[in-house]
Structure 1
Amino acid sequence: MNQPFPYHPAHRHQRILGVDSGCGGVSVIERCHRLLRHEHFTLVADNAGHPYGDDKSLEQVAHCVVEAVAPHLESRMFKVVQIACNTASHPEIVARLKNSFGVPVLGLIEPTAREVLCRHGYGRKTAVRIGIMGTPTLLKYQGYHQEFLAQAAAMGLPQPEMIDIPCHGLAAAIEKDVQGKGERVRLLLGQYLRNLPSIEVLIIGCTHFCLRPLRDMIASTVGPGTAVFDPAEAAAKNLLNWLGESKMKNDKPPCKEPLWRTSRADTGLIKRMRQSWWNLREAA
Protein backbone atom coordinates (compact mmCIF):
# COMPACT_ATOMS: atom_id res chain seq x y z
CA MET A 1 0.00 0.00 0.00
CA ASN A 2 3.03 2.30 0.33
CA GLN A 3 4.01 2.06 -3.34
CA PRO A 4 3.73 5.34 -5.30
CA PHE A 5 0.49 5.67 -7.20
CA PRO A 6 1.24 4.71 -10.83
CA TYR A 7 -0.37 7.58 -12.74
CA HIS A 8 -1.59 6.69 -16.19
CA PRO A 9 -4.27 8.22 -18.48
CA ALA A 10 -6.42 5.14 -17.96
CA HIS A 11 -6.71 6.00 -14.26
CA ARG A 12 -9.06 8.87 -15.06
CA HIS A 13 -11.80 6.28 -15.44
CA GLN A 14 -11.30 4.98 -11.91
CA ARG A 15 -13.62 5.80 -9.04
CA ILE A 16 -13.30 8.39 -6.28
CA LEU A 17 -13.41 6.91 -2.77
CA GLY A 18 -15.00 8.92 0.04
CA VAL A 19 -14.84 8.04 3.74
CA ASP A 20 -16.57 9.29 6.87
CA SER A 21 -17.50 7.89 10.28
CA GLY A 22 -21.08 7.06 9.39
CA CYS A 23 -23.55 8.65 7.04
CA GLY A 24 -22.53 12.31 7.38
CA GLY A 25 -20.17 11.99 4.42
CA VAL A 26 -23.21 11.75 2.15
CA SER A 27 -23.45 15.55 2.33
CA VAL A 28 -19.94 15.87 0.87
CA ILE A 29 -20.16 13.16 -1.77
CA GLU A 30 -23.56 14.34 -2.99
CA ARG A 31 -22.19 17.89 -3.40
CA CYS A 32 -19.15 16.57 -5.26
CA HIS A 33 -21.33 14.40 -7.49
CA ARG A 34 -23.60 17.32 -8.41
CA LEU A 35 -20.55 19.26 -9.61
CA LEU A 36 -18.81 16.26 -11.21
CA ARG A 37 -21.53 14.22 -12.90
CA HIS A 38 -19.09 12.17 -14.97
CA GLU A 39 -17.19 10.96 -11.92
CA HIS A 40 -18.01 7.69 -10.18
CA PHE A 41 -18.05 7.86 -6.38
CA THR A 42 -18.08 5.29 -3.61
CA LEU A 43 -18.61 6.39 0.00
CA VAL A 44 -17.49 4.16 2.86
CA ALA A 45 -19.65 5.04 5.86
CA ASP A 46 -17.47 3.74 8.67
CA ASN A 47 -20.20 2.91 11.16
CA ALA A 48 -17.80 0.48 12.86
CA GLY A 49 -15.59 3.41 13.88
CA HIS A 50 -18.37 5.94 14.46
CA PRO A 51 -18.15 8.52 15.90
CA TYR A 52 -14.65 9.77 15.04
CA GLY A 53 -15.02 13.10 16.80
CA ASP A 54 -16.52 12.51 20.24
CA ASP A 55 -13.90 10.48 22.11
CA LYS A 56 -10.93 9.59 19.90
CA SER A 57 -7.36 10.81 19.55
CA LEU A 58 -5.89 11.75 16.17
CA GLU A 59 -4.00 8.44 16.22
CA GLN A 60 -7.24 6.52 16.78
CA VAL A 61 -9.06 8.42 14.03
CA ALA A 62 -6.26 7.75 11.55
CA HIS A 63 -6.33 4.06 12.46
CA CYS A 64 -10.11 3.90 11.88
CA VAL A 65 -9.80 5.52 8.46
CA VAL A 66 -7.01 3.16 7.41
CA GLU A 67 -9.03 0.14 8.55
CA ALA A 68 -12.12 1.31 6.68
CA VAL A 69 -10.44 2.33 3.43
CA ALA A 70 -7.52 -0.06 2.95
CA PRO A 71 -9.64 -3.09 1.83
CA HIS A 72 -11.19 -0.98 -0.92
CA LEU A 73 -7.87 0.41 -2.14
CA GLU A 74 -6.45 -3.08 -2.54
CA SER A 75 -8.57 -3.39 -5.69
CA ARG A 76 -6.74 -0.44 -7.30
CA MET A 77 -10.12 0.81 -8.54
CA PHE A 78 -9.73 4.31 -7.04
CA LYS A 79 -7.73 7.30 -8.24
CA VAL A 80 -8.13 9.55 -5.18
CA VAL A 81 -9.48 9.46 -1.63
CA GLN A 82 -11.80 12.30 -0.61
CA ILE A 83 -12.08 12.50 3.16
CA ALA A 84 -15.68 13.42 3.95
CA CYS A 85 -15.08 14.10 7.64
CA ASN A 86 -13.77 17.27 9.28
CA THR A 87 -12.14 15.47 12.21
CA ALA A 88 -10.31 13.08 9.88
CA SER A 89 -9.18 16.04 7.74
CA HIS A 90 -6.69 17.25 10.36
CA PRO A 91 -3.41 17.98 8.53
CA GLU A 92 -1.53 15.33 10.55
CA ILE A 93 -4.05 12.67 9.62
CA VAL A 94 -4.11 13.65 5.94
CA ALA A 95 -0.31 13.44 5.81
CA ARG A 96 -0.34 10.00 7.42
CA LEU A 97 -3.04 8.71 5.08
CA LYS A 98 -1.15 9.90 2.01
CA ASN A 99 1.85 7.90 3.18
CA SER A 100 -0.23 4.86 4.09
CA PHE A 101 -2.38 4.66 0.98
CA GLY A 102 0.03 5.61 -1.78
CA VAL A 103 -2.77 7.51 -3.56
CA PRO A 104 -3.71 11.19 -3.39
CA VAL A 105 -5.80 12.15 -0.35
CA LEU A 106 -7.92 15.31 -0.18
CA GLY A 107 -9.41 16.70 3.03
CA LEU A 108 -11.93 19.35 4.03
CA ILE A 109 -10.02 21.76 6.27
CA GLU A 110 -7.47 23.20 3.82
CA PRO A 111 -9.93 24.11 1.01
CA THR A 112 -12.49 25.43 3.52
CA ALA A 113 -9.99 27.81 5.11
CA ARG A 114 -8.92 29.05 1.70
CA GLU A 115 -12.50 29.59 0.48
CA VAL A 116 -13.69 31.37 3.64
CA LEU A 117 -10.69 33.69 3.75
CA CYS A 118 -11.06 34.55 0.06
CA ARG A 119 -14.72 35.43 0.59
CA HIS A 120 -14.57 37.19 3.93
CA GLY A 121 -10.95 38.13 4.60
CA TYR A 122 -9.78 40.26 1.70
CA GLY A 123 -10.17 44.03 1.74
CA ARG A 124 -10.51 44.40 5.49
CA LYS A 125 -8.22 45.76 8.19
CA THR A 126 -9.80 43.95 11.11
CA ALA A 127 -9.90 40.24 11.87
CA VAL A 128 -12.89 38.21 10.71
CA ARG A 129 -14.70 36.40 13.54
CA ILE A 130 -15.19 32.75 12.60
CA GLY A 131 -17.18 30.22 14.62
CA ILE A 132 -16.63 26.48 14.22
CA MET A 133 -19.37 24.04 15.11
CA GLY A 134 -17.49 20.84 15.73
CA THR A 135 -16.93 17.62 17.59
CA PRO A 136 -14.71 17.60 20.69
CA THR A 137 -11.83 15.89 18.85
CA LEU A 138 -11.94 18.37 15.96
CA LEU A 139 -11.81 21.34 18.32
CA LYS A 140 -9.29 19.82 20.73
CA TYR A 141 -6.60 19.35 18.09
CA GLN A 142 -7.34 22.70 16.38
CA GLY A 143 -6.88 21.66 12.79
CA TYR A 144 -9.03 24.55 11.55
CA HIS A 145 -7.28 27.05 13.80
CA GLN A 146 -3.86 26.05 12.50
CA GLU A 147 -4.94 26.14 8.86
CA PHE A 148 -6.74 29.49 9.08
CA LEU A 149 -3.83 31.18 10.84
CA ALA A 150 -1.30 29.75 8.36
CA GLN A 151 -3.31 30.71 5.29
CA ALA A 152 -4.14 34.19 6.61
CA ALA A 153 -0.43 34.82 7.20
CA ALA A 154 0.40 33.58 3.70
CA MET A 155 -2.27 35.88 2.21
CA GLY A 156 -1.14 38.88 4.26
CA LEU A 157 -4.51 39.08 6.05
CA PRO A 158 -5.25 39.90 9.69
CA GLN A 159 -5.25 36.77 11.82
CA PRO A 160 -8.88 35.60 12.13
CA GLU A 161 -10.51 35.26 15.53
CA MET A 162 -11.53 31.62 15.92
CA ILE A 163 -14.41 30.73 18.25
CA ASP A 164 -15.14 27.11 19.17
CA ILE A 165 -18.72 25.85 19.41
CA PRO A 166 -18.49 22.31 20.88
CA CYS A 167 -21.30 19.94 19.88
CA HIS A 168 -20.64 16.81 21.92
CA GLY A 169 -22.97 13.92 21.08
CA LEU A 170 -24.74 15.63 18.19
CA ALA A 171 -23.24 13.47 15.44
CA ALA A 172 -24.12 10.31 17.37
CA ALA A 173 -27.70 11.55 17.87
CA ILE A 174 -28.04 12.24 14.15
CA GLU A 175 -26.70 8.79 13.25
CA LYS A 176 -29.15 7.10 15.60
CA ASP A 177 -32.16 9.04 14.31
CA VAL A 178 -32.82 6.71 11.38
CA GLN A 179 -36.48 7.72 11.29
CA GLY A 180 -35.62 11.38 10.80
CA LYS A 181 -37.98 12.65 13.53
CA GLY A 182 -35.27 14.84 15.00
CA GLU A 183 -36.55 15.57 18.52
CA ARG A 184 -33.23 14.85 20.23
CA VAL A 185 -31.29 16.50 17.41
CA ARG A 186 -33.36 19.69 17.59
CA LEU A 187 -32.91 19.81 21.36
CA LEU A 188 -29.12 19.54 21.08
CA LEU A 189 -28.92 22.07 18.27
CA GLY A 190 -30.89 24.58 20.29
CA GLN A 191 -28.67 23.96 23.30
CA TYR A 192 -25.40 24.40 21.41
CA LEU A 193 -26.46 27.43 19.39
CA ARG A 194 -28.16 29.23 22.27
CA ASN A 195 -26.36 32.44 23.28
CA LEU A 196 -24.07 32.18 20.27
CA PRO A 197 -21.34 34.86 20.41
CA SER A 198 -21.16 37.51 17.71
CA ILE A 199 -19.56 35.93 14.64
CA GLU A 200 -19.47 36.77 10.95
CA VAL A 201 -18.98 33.25 9.60
CA LEU A 202 -20.16 29.92 11.01
CA ILE A 203 -18.40 26.82 9.68
CA ILE A 204 -20.45 23.65 10.07
CA GLY A 205 -17.47 21.54 11.11
CA CYS A 206 -19.09 18.11 11.01
CA THR A 207 -20.55 16.58 7.87
CA HIS A 208 -23.39 15.04 9.88
CA PHE A 209 -24.57 18.56 10.72
CA CYS A 210 -24.76 19.43 7.01
CA LEU A 211 -27.39 16.82 6.12
CA ARG A 212 -30.76 18.23 5.16
CA PRO A 213 -32.71 19.66 6.94
CA LEU A 214 -30.07 20.21 9.64
CA ARG A 215 -28.24 22.75 7.53
CA ASP A 216 -31.46 24.74 7.21
CA MET A 217 -32.12 24.47 10.95
CA ILE A 218 -28.68 25.88 11.71
CA ALA A 219 -29.05 28.74 9.22
CA SER A 220 -32.45 29.74 10.61
CA THR A 221 -31.15 29.60 14.19
CA VAL A 222 -28.12 31.85 13.68
CA GLY A 223 -30.05 34.32 11.53
CA PRO A 224 -29.21 36.33 8.40
CA GLY A 225 -26.36 38.29 9.96
CA THR A 226 -24.06 35.27 10.00
CA ALA A 227 -22.79 33.53 6.86
CA VAL A 228 -23.13 29.75 7.27
CA PHE A 229 -20.49 27.75 5.40
CA ASP A 230 -20.70 24.07 4.48
CA PRO A 231 -17.20 22.58 3.88
CA ALA A 232 -18.70 20.30 1.21
CA GLU A 233 -18.83 23.30 -1.11
CA ALA A 234 -15.09 23.91 -0.81
CA ALA A 235 -14.35 20.18 -1.07
CA ALA A 236 -16.24 19.87 -4.36
CA LYS A 237 -14.37 22.82 -5.89
CA ASN A 238 -11.05 21.51 -4.63
CA LEU A 239 -11.72 18.06 -6.08
CA LEU A 240 -12.69 19.62 -9.41
CA ASN A 241 -9.42 21.57 -9.47
CA TRP A 242 -7.38 18.50 -8.53
CA LEU A 243 -8.94 16.42 -11.30
CA GLY A 244 -8.22 19.15 -13.83
CA GLU A 245 -4.64 19.77 -12.75
CA SER A 246 -3.90 16.04 -12.61
CA LYS A 247 -5.60 15.36 -15.94
CA MET A 248 -7.80 12.84 -14.16
CA LYS A 249 -11.27 13.97 -15.24
CA ASN A 250 -13.45 11.08 -16.33
CA ASP A 251 -14.74 11.25 -19.91
CA LYS A 252 -17.15 8.33 -19.61
CA PRO A 253 -20.95 8.85 -19.58
CA PRO A 254 -22.37 10.53 -16.44
CA CYS A 255 -22.93 8.41 -13.35
CA LYS A 256 -26.50 8.44 -12.01
CA GLU A 257 -25.59 8.26 -8.32
CA PRO A 258 -22.76 7.27 -5.96
CA LEU A 259 -22.44 3.89 -4.30
CA TRP A 260 -22.98 3.73 -0.54
CA ARG A 261 -21.03 1.24 1.56
CA THR A 262 -20.70 0.63 5.31
CA SER A 263 -17.68 -0.77 7.13
CA ARG A 264 -19.87 -3.34 8.87
CA ALA A 265 -21.58 -4.42 5.63
CA ASP A 266 -24.80 -3.34 7.32
CA THR A 267 -27.20 -3.28 4.38
CA GLY A 268 -30.01 -2.87 6.90
CA LEU A 269 -28.64 0.56 7.80
CA ILE A 270 -28.80 1.71 4.19
CA LYS A 271 -32.37 0.43 3.85
CA ARG A 272 -33.46 2.18 7.03
CA MET A 273 -31.80 5.41 5.98
CA ARG A 274 -33.72 5.36 2.70
CA GLN A 275 -36.78 6.29 4.72
CA SER A 276 -35.04 9.00 6.72
CA TRP A 277 -34.63 12.70 6.13
CA TRP A 278 -31.37 12.14 4.23
CA ASN A 279 -33.06 10.26 1.37
CA LEU A 280 -30.23 7.77 1.02
CA ARG A 281 -30.58 5.07 -1.62
CA GLU A 282 -29.29 1.56 -1.60
CA ALA A 283 -25.98 0.90 -3.25
CA ALA A 284 -26.33 -0.29 -6.80
Structure 2
Amino acid sequence: MTRLLVFDSGIGGLSVASEIRLALPAAEMIYVADDAGFPYGERSDDDLGVHVVELIGALIDVFTPDAVVIACNTASTLVLPPLRERFSIPFVGTVPAVKPAAEQTRSGLISVLATPGTMRRDYTRALIESHASHCAVRLVGSANLAPIAEAVMRGEPADDAAIATEIGPAFVEDGDRRTDSIVLACTHYPFLKADFVRLAPWPVEWIDPAPAIARRVVSVVGEGEGGETGGGLAYLTSGKVWPEPLVDVLGRMGLEPMSEPASG
Protein backbone atom coordinates (compact mmCIF):
# COMPACT_ATOMS: atom_id res chain seq x y z
CA MET A 1 0.00 0.00 0.00
CA THR A 2 1.27 3.48 -0.88
CA ARG A 3 1.85 5.72 2.12
CA LEU A 4 1.72 9.47 1.58
CA LEU A 5 2.80 12.20 3.97
CA VAL A 6 0.76 15.36 3.33
CA PHE A 7 2.14 18.39 5.14
CA ASP A 8 0.83 21.93 5.56
CA SER A 9 1.35 24.90 7.82
CA GLY A 10 -2.19 24.38 9.07
CA ILE A 11 -5.45 22.75 8.12
CA GLY A 12 -5.81 24.39 4.70
CA GLY A 13 -3.89 21.54 3.11
CA LEU A 14 -6.96 19.39 3.62
CA SER A 15 -8.15 20.93 0.35
CA VAL A 16 -5.26 19.11 -1.31
CA ALA A 17 -5.63 15.96 0.79
CA SER A 18 -9.28 15.61 -0.26
CA GLU A 19 -8.35 15.72 -3.95
CA ILE A 20 -5.57 13.18 -3.39
CA ARG A 21 -8.05 10.89 -1.64
CA LEU A 22 -10.37 11.07 -4.65
CA ALA A 23 -7.48 10.25 -6.99
CA LEU A 24 -5.92 7.54 -4.79
CA PRO A 25 -8.69 6.11 -2.61
CA ALA A 26 -6.66 3.13 -1.39
CA ALA A 27 -3.55 5.06 -0.34
CA GLU A 28 -2.62 5.36 3.32
CA MET A 29 -2.36 9.05 4.19
CA ILE A 30 -0.60 10.79 7.07
CA TYR A 31 -1.75 14.40 7.29
CA VAL A 32 0.32 16.76 9.45
CA ALA A 33 -0.76 20.32 10.18
CA ASP A 34 2.00 22.43 11.70
CA ASP A 35 -0.36 24.48 13.84
CA ALA A 36 2.45 25.00 16.36
CA GLY A 37 4.34 26.95 13.69
CA PHE A 38 1.33 28.62 11.99
CA PRO A 39 1.13 31.05 10.25
CA TYR A 40 4.07 30.80 7.84
CA GLY A 41 3.33 33.80 5.66
CA GLU A 42 5.25 36.43 7.59
CA ARG A 43 8.19 34.34 8.87
CA SER A 44 11.66 35.07 7.51
CA ASP A 45 12.97 32.77 4.76
CA ASP A 46 15.88 31.52 6.87
CA ASP A 47 13.75 30.79 9.93
CA LEU A 48 11.01 29.08 7.95
CA GLY A 49 13.38 27.09 5.76
CA VAL A 50 15.27 25.59 8.69
CA HIS A 51 12.07 24.88 10.61
CA VAL A 52 10.27 23.10 7.76
CA VAL A 53 13.24 21.05 6.55
CA GLU A 54 13.99 19.81 10.08
CA LEU A 55 10.33 19.06 10.82
CA ILE A 56 9.71 17.17 7.58
CA GLY A 57 12.95 15.26 8.10
CA ALA A 58 11.70 14.14 11.51
CA LEU A 59 8.33 13.15 10.04
CA ILE A 60 10.00 11.09 7.33
CA ASP A 61 11.99 9.25 10.00
CA VAL A 62 8.80 8.46 11.92
CA PHE A 63 6.43 7.55 9.09
CA THR A 64 8.74 6.39 6.23
CA PRO A 65 6.38 7.59 3.47
CA ASP A 66 6.68 6.64 -0.19
CA ALA A 67 6.23 10.28 -1.17
CA VAL A 68 5.76 13.65 0.53
CA VAL A 69 3.25 16.27 -0.55
CA ILE A 70 3.92 19.79 0.69
CA ALA A 71 0.42 21.24 0.54
CA CYS A 72 1.63 24.77 1.25
CA ASN A 73 2.64 27.38 -1.31
CA THR A 74 4.75 29.37 1.15
CA ALA A 75 6.82 26.36 2.20
CA SER A 76 7.03 24.84 -1.30
CA THR A 77 8.54 27.95 -2.86
CA LEU A 78 11.32 27.78 -0.27
CA VAL A 79 12.17 24.24 0.84
CA LEU A 80 11.75 21.86 -2.10
CA PRO A 81 15.39 22.11 -3.30
CA PRO A 82 16.99 21.36 0.10
CA LEU A 83 14.53 18.53 0.78
CA ARG A 84 15.23 16.92 -2.59
CA GLU A 85 18.96 17.16 -1.95
CA ARG A 86 18.63 15.52 1.45
CA PHE A 87 16.12 12.73 0.70
CA SER A 88 15.72 10.32 -2.18
CA ILE A 89 11.93 9.96 -1.94
CA PRO A 90 9.70 12.02 -4.26
CA PHE A 91 8.40 15.42 -3.15
CA VAL A 92 5.37 17.07 -4.70
CA GLY A 93 5.07 20.76 -4.00
CA THR A 94 2.38 23.36 -4.36
CA VAL A 95 3.12 26.39 -6.49
CA PRO A 96 0.84 29.20 -7.68
CA ALA A 97 -1.26 28.13 -10.67
CA VAL A 98 -0.07 31.02 -12.82
CA LYS A 99 0.21 29.01 -16.04
CA PRO A 100 -3.45 27.88 -16.24
CA ALA A 101 -4.60 31.37 -15.28
CA ALA A 102 -2.54 32.89 -18.09
CA GLU A 103 -3.83 30.29 -20.54
CA GLN A 104 -7.50 30.88 -19.84
CA THR A 105 -7.71 34.64 -19.26
CA ARG A 106 -9.57 36.64 -21.88
CA SER A 107 -9.00 40.09 -20.47
CA GLY A 108 -5.28 39.61 -19.87
CA LEU A 109 -5.72 40.79 -16.27
CA ILE A 110 -5.04 38.12 -13.65
CA SER A 111 -4.29 38.27 -9.95
CA VAL A 112 -2.41 35.97 -7.61
CA LEU A 113 -3.96 35.90 -4.14
CA ALA A 114 -1.25 34.62 -1.81
CA THR A 115 0.39 34.96 1.58
CA PRO A 116 3.04 37.69 1.91
CA GLY A 117 5.74 35.00 1.88
CA THR A 118 4.59 33.46 -1.40
CA MET A 119 4.06 36.88 -2.94
CA ARG A 120 7.60 38.08 -2.32
CA ARG A 121 9.40 34.89 -3.41
CA ASP A 122 11.56 34.97 -6.53
CA TYR A 123 10.00 31.62 -7.48
CA THR A 124 6.57 33.24 -7.83
CA ARG A 125 7.94 36.05 -9.96
CA ALA A 126 9.80 33.55 -12.15
CA LEU A 127 6.53 31.68 -12.77
CA ILE A 128 4.92 34.92 -13.89
CA GLU A 129 7.84 35.76 -16.17
CA SER A 130 7.83 32.28 -17.70
CA HIS A 131 4.10 31.75 -18.16
CA ALA A 132 2.30 35.09 -17.95
CA SER A 133 4.60 37.67 -19.50
CA HIS A 134 1.79 38.56 -21.92
CA CYS A 135 -0.57 39.34 -19.04
CA ALA A 136 -0.88 42.09 -16.47
CA VAL A 137 -0.47 40.22 -13.18
CA ARG A 138 -1.23 41.70 -9.79
CA LEU A 139 0.31 40.01 -6.75
CA VAL A 140 -1.87 40.38 -3.67
CA GLY A 141 -0.35 39.29 -0.36
CA SER A 142 -2.79 38.74 2.48
CA ALA A 143 -1.60 38.11 6.02
CA ASN A 144 -5.15 37.56 7.24
CA LEU A 145 -6.96 35.19 4.88
CA ALA A 146 -5.25 32.00 6.05
CA PRO A 147 -6.12 32.66 9.72
CA ILE A 148 -9.67 33.58 8.65
CA ALA A 149 -9.92 30.29 6.74
CA GLU A 150 -8.63 28.36 9.75
CA ALA A 151 -11.29 29.98 11.93
CA VAL A 152 -14.06 29.19 9.44
CA MET A 153 -12.90 25.59 9.15
CA ARG A 154 -13.03 25.33 12.93
CA GLY A 155 -16.69 26.31 12.87
CA GLU A 156 -16.53 30.06 13.42
CA PRO A 157 -18.67 32.38 11.27
CA ALA A 158 -17.09 34.08 8.27
CA ASP A 159 -16.22 37.77 8.69
CA ASP A 160 -17.61 39.17 5.45
CA ALA A 161 -16.12 42.63 5.88
CA ALA A 162 -12.64 41.26 6.57
CA ILE A 163 -12.79 38.86 3.62
CA ALA A 164 -14.01 41.57 1.25
CA THR A 165 -11.18 43.84 2.37
CA GLU A 166 -8.57 41.14 1.72
CA ILE A 167 -9.78 40.15 -1.76
CA GLY A 168 -10.61 43.66 -2.92
CA PRO A 169 -7.11 44.52 -4.26
CA ALA A 170 -7.21 41.44 -6.52
CA PHE A 171 -9.94 43.06 -8.65
CA VAL A 172 -8.48 45.44 -11.21
CA GLU A 173 -10.21 47.58 -13.82
CA ASP A 174 -8.22 48.95 -16.76
CA GLY A 175 -10.39 50.79 -19.22
CA ASP A 176 -12.94 48.28 -20.46
CA ARG A 177 -10.93 45.34 -19.11
CA ARG A 178 -11.39 43.66 -15.74
CA THR A 179 -9.59 40.93 -13.84
CA ASP A 180 -11.15 37.64 -14.92
CA SER A 181 -8.90 35.01 -13.24
CA ILE A 182 -7.62 34.88 -9.67
CA VAL A 183 -5.11 32.26 -8.58
CA LEU A 184 -5.69 30.85 -5.09
CA ALA A 185 -2.03 30.64 -4.11
CA CYS A 186 -2.60 29.30 -0.61
CA THR A 187 -4.19 25.94 0.11
CA HIS A 188 -6.34 27.52 2.82
CA TYR A 189 -8.16 29.74 0.36
CA PRO A 190 -10.34 27.13 -1.41
CA PHE A 191 -12.22 26.71 1.87
CA LEU A 192 -13.31 30.34 1.51
CA LYS A 193 -14.18 30.10 -2.18
CA ALA A 194 -17.93 30.27 -1.62
CA ASP A 195 -17.41 33.45 0.38
CA PHE A 196 -15.09 34.85 -2.29
CA VAL A 197 -17.72 34.22 -4.97
CA ARG A 198 -20.44 35.79 -2.85
CA LEU A 199 -18.41 38.90 -1.95
CA ALA A 200 -16.63 39.49 -5.26
CA PRO A 201 -17.42 42.79 -7.03
CA TRP A 202 -17.81 40.84 -10.31
CA PRO A 203 -17.57 37.18 -11.38
CA VAL A 204 -14.09 35.69 -11.98
CA GLU A 205 -12.53 32.26 -12.32
CA TRP A 206 -11.03 31.20 -8.98
CA ILE A 207 -8.19 28.78 -9.78
CA ASP A 208 -7.60 26.05 -7.20
CA PRO A 209 -4.37 24.06 -7.71
CA ALA A 210 -5.49 21.02 -5.68
CA PRO A 211 -6.75 18.87 -8.60
CA ALA A 212 -3.48 19.41 -10.49
CA ILE A 213 -1.47 18.50 -7.38
CA ALA A 214 -3.44 15.27 -7.02
CA ARG A 215 -2.75 14.40 -10.66
CA ARG A 216 0.95 15.01 -10.07
CA VAL A 217 0.92 12.70 -7.04
CA VAL A 218 -0.67 9.95 -9.15
CA SER A 219 2.03 10.42 -11.80
CA VAL A 220 4.71 10.02 -9.12
CA VAL A 221 3.38 7.03 -7.15
CA GLY A 222 1.20 5.32 -9.74
CA GLU A 223 -2.52 4.71 -10.02
CA GLY A 224 -2.68 2.39 -7.03
CA GLU A 225 -5.66 0.18 -6.35
CA GLY A 226 -9.34 1.00 -6.16
CA GLY A 227 -11.67 -0.21 -3.49
CA GLU A 228 -12.23 1.05 0.02
CA THR A 229 -10.62 4.14 1.49
CA GLY A 230 -7.05 3.42 2.51
CA GLY A 231 -7.33 5.26 5.81
CA GLY A 232 -4.67 7.12 7.67
CA LEU A 233 -3.94 9.48 10.53
CA ALA A 234 -4.12 13.25 11.04
CA TYR A 235 -1.90 15.15 13.45
CA LEU A 236 -1.54 18.67 14.78
CA THR A 237 2.08 19.41 15.69
CA SER A 238 0.88 21.16 18.85
CA GLY A 239 -0.75 17.96 20.06
CA LYS A 240 -4.06 19.78 20.55
CA VAL A 241 -7.38 18.02 20.10
CA TRP A 242 -8.90 18.42 16.63
CA PRO A 243 -12.01 20.66 16.62
CA GLU A 244 -15.24 18.74 16.07
CA PRO A 245 -16.08 20.29 12.66
CA LEU A 246 -12.70 19.12 11.39
CA VAL A 247 -13.15 15.63 12.81
CA ASP A 248 -16.08 15.28 10.41
CA VAL A 249 -13.95 16.55 7.51
CA LEU A 250 -11.18 14.08 8.36
CA GLY A 251 -13.63 11.25 8.70
CA ARG A 252 -14.87 11.75 5.15
CA MET A 253 -11.29 11.21 4.00
CA GLY A 254 -10.81 8.14 6.16
CA LEU A 255 -8.37 9.94 8.48
CA GLU A 256 -8.32 9.32 12.21
CA PRO A 257 -7.60 12.48 14.24
CA MET A 258 -4.73 11.97 16.66
CA SER A 259 -4.27 13.86 19.92
CA GLU A 260 -0.48 13.73 20.26
CA PRO A 261 2.26 15.49 18.29
CA ALA A 262 3.22 13.80 15.02
CA SER A 263 6.79 13.23 16.14
CA GLY A 264 5.64 11.69 19.38
For this structure pair, what is the TM-score category when the shorter chain's length is used for normalisation? 0.7 to 0.9
Change (3 A) 1:170 1:116: closer
- Tell me which of 139, 161, 167 is aligned to 2:119: 139
Change (3 A) 1:128 1:240: farther
Residues 23, 208 of structure 1: 8 Å contact kept = yes
What secondary structure, in the 3-state scheme, does the structure 2 residue paired with 1:207 have?
A: coil
Deviation at 1:223, TM superposition (A): 6.2
Name segments (4+ residues, structure 1) moved above 4 Å: 176-179
Query: Do structure 1's residue 102 and structure 2's residue 83 form an aligned pair?
Result: no
What secondary structure, in the 3-state scheme, does the structure 1 residue paired with 2:257 have?
A: coil
Query: Do structure 1's residue 275 and structure 2's residue 245 form an aligned pair?
Result: yes
- 1:210: which partner in 2? 190
- Tell me which of 56, 71, 75 is aligned to 2:58: 71
What secondary structure, in the 3-state scheme, does the structure 1 residue paired with 2:206 have?
A: strand
Q: How does 1:1-284 map to 2 (within 5 A)?
A: 13-53=1-41, 55-75=42-62, 77-90=64-77, 92-109=78-95, 112-117=97-102, 119-120=103-104, 128-151=108-131, 158-176=133-151, 179-184=154-159, 186-194=160-168, 196-197=171-172, 198-211=178-191, 214-222=192-200, 225-244=203-222, 249-251=223-225, 253-266=227-240, 268=241, 270=242, 272=243, 274-275=244-245, 279-281=249-251, 282-283=256-257
Deviation at 1:193, TM superposition (A): 2.3
The residue identity in structure 2 corresponding to 1:26 is L
Partners in 1 of 2:25 and 2:247 — Cα distance? 23
Partners in 1 of 2:187 and 2:156 — Cα distance? 19
Root-mean-square deviation (CA), in Å?
A: 2.7
Residues 108, 135 of structure 2: 8 Å contact kept = yes
Deviation at 1:177, TM superposition (A): 5.0
Deviations 1:19-71 (A, max 9, x none): 11111111111111112212222111001111111x21222222232233222
Change (3 A) 1:217 1:253: same
The residue identity in structure 2 corresponding to 1:120 is Q
Provide structure 2 residue ranges, at least 5 long, that are not aligned to the other structure. 173-177, 259-264
Change (3 A) 1:228 1:142: farther
**Which is strand-richer, 1 or 2?**
2
Partners in 2 of 1:145 and 1:40 — Cα distance? 35
What secondary structure, in the 3-state scheme, does the structure 1 residue paired with 2:239 have?
A: coil
Partners in 1 of 2:33 and 2:57 — Cα distance? 13
TM-score, normalized by length of structure 2? Answer: 0.82
TM-score, normalized by length of structure 1? Answer: 0.76
Change (3 A) 1:163 1:44: same
The residue identity in structure 1 corresponding to 2:85 is N
Partners in 1 of 2:110 and 2:247 — Cα distance? 29
What secondary structure, in the 3-state scheme, does the structure 2 residue paired with 1:279 have?
A: helix
Provide structure 1 residue ranges, at least 5 long, that are not aligned to the other structure. 1-12, 153-157
Partners in 2 of 1:68 and 1:257 — Cα distance? 23
What secondary structure, in the 3-state scheme, does the structure 2 residue paired with 1:18 have?
A: strand
What secondary structure, in the 3-state scheme, does the structure 1 residue paired with 2:249 have?
A: coil
Partners in 2 of 1:227 and 1:177 — Cα distance? 22
Residues 20, 214 of structure 2: 8 Å contact kept = yes
Partners in 2 of 1:252 and 1:234 — Cα distance? 20
Q: Percent identity?
A: 23
Change (3 A) 1:64 1:175: farther
Partners in 2 of 1:283 and 1:179 — Cα distance? 14
What secondary structure, in the 3-state scheme, does the structure 2 residue paired with 1:102 have?
A: coil
Residues 202, 227 of structure 1: 8 Å contact kept = yes
Residues 24, 224 of structure 2: 8 Å contact kept = no
Partners in 2 of 1:24 and 1:165 — Cα distance? 18
